[in-house]
Amino acid sequence: LEADTVMLECTFLDERKALADARAGGHVHMTDLLPRAGLFKGKRVVLSHFSQIYHEDEIEPLLDRFREASGAAEVWAFPMAWRTRDQ
């Protein structure tokens, strides 16, 4: 995958949601992406559509595993909508 930018959803980022549950709902789990991370060779990968179970300050650290495994120069998080810790 050598496009300048690849954008895809990655709704679930850790064990708080099982891979089977993510697939049952038609969503991508980080577990799906990690084995393929090295295939992304373009300038950037933009991951989006994160579950509301994650708070804004959790997203970037949870993407570090993908950043380390990816061949992309940049890995961005594109937040759709966030809730605050008080919600």
Q: What is the pLDDT of residue 42?
A: 86
Structure tokens at 25: 């709902």
Dihedral of the CA atoms 50, 52, 53, 58 (nearest 10)? 60
Give pTM, 2 decimals: 0.83
Distance CA 10, CA 28 (A): 5
Tens of pLDDT, residues 51-76: 999 988 899 999 999 999 988 788 99
pLDDT band with cut points at 50, 70 and 90 for residue 1: low
Percent helix, percent strand, percent coil in the chain, to nearest 5: 35, 20, 45
